[in-house]
Structure 1
Amino acid sequence: MIDFGYDEKQLERYADLLKTLAHPVRLCIVKGLIEKGTCNVSMMHTCLNMPQSTISQHLAKLKQANVVTSKRNGLEMFYSVENKQVIALVDTLFKD
């Protein structure tokens, strides 16, 4: 690999983040959470019109990659995007 002076580990982290966001459903979830704020899986199910199990699988990948955070309220789990780097990246992607 040509050395451009970048930290290889940091480049790998950026590449992993981009891979996580590269799926259309995950990108839609993240964009929706940024726009609407905190949501639970039931709210996302209504908006996305797809099975809750599918949404939950994508949320698990997003959470593992530190793209979304979750907070429990009683029996429900609410998700949000608090990662400023992710917010800036998604905002850049969706600029007109």
Structure 2
Amino acid sequence: MEEKYEQNAELLKVLAHPVRLGLINFLLQAGPSNVTQLQGEFDMPQSTISQHLGKLRHARILRGNRKGLEIYYEIIDPRIEQLVRVLK
């Protein structure tokens, strides 16, 4: 039982950043997007966006799918949409 709480706490830690919450919300609304689209939406350097995406990928919240030269990120954790809906 404690292991489940630890996993949930780690998930919440990853989400507990305004940029990552914004990225998640954008991906939920827009669907799969690449770093260029996200950079334009958030007006941040590509390296900053990539760092946040890396943390979300490491937490298995989203994944990247390569299409040609671009990688499109999409949410794969079904709990995320419910969590974001509660926060609105």
| 2:31 paired with 1:37 | yes
Q: Which residue of 1 aligns with 2:86?
A: 92
Percent identity, aligned pairs only, is 43
Q: 1:59 aligns with which of 53, 71, 75?
A: 53
Instruction: Output the amino acid matched with 1:76.
Output: E
- Give the Cα–Cα distance (whole angstroms) in 2 for the partners of residues 54 and 24 of structure 1: 13
- Give the Cα–Cα distance (whole angstroms) in 1 for the partners of residues 84 and 34 of structure 2: 20
Superimposed CA distance per residue, residues 53-72 of structure 1 (whole angstroms, 9 cap, x where no aligned partner) = 00000000000001111100
The structure with the greater share of residues assigned to helix is 2
**TM-score, length-normalised on structure 1?**
0.89
- Which structure has the bigger radius of gyration? 1
Superimposed CA distance per residue, residues 23-69 of structure 1 (whole angstroms, 9 cap, x where no aligned partner) = 10001000100011010000000000000000000000000001111
Query: Where in structure 1 do 4 or more consecutive aligned residues deviate above 4 Å?
Result: none
Instruction: Give 1:92 shift.
Output: 1.2
Q: Over the residues paired in the alignment, what is the CA RMSD in angstroms?
A: 0.7
- Give the Cα–Cα distance (whole angstroms) in 1 for the partners of residues 10 and 27 of structure 2: 20
Gapped regions of structure 2 (runs ≥ 5): none
Q: Which residue of 2 aligns with 1:69?
A: 63
Q: Which residue of 2 aligns with 1:26?
A: 20
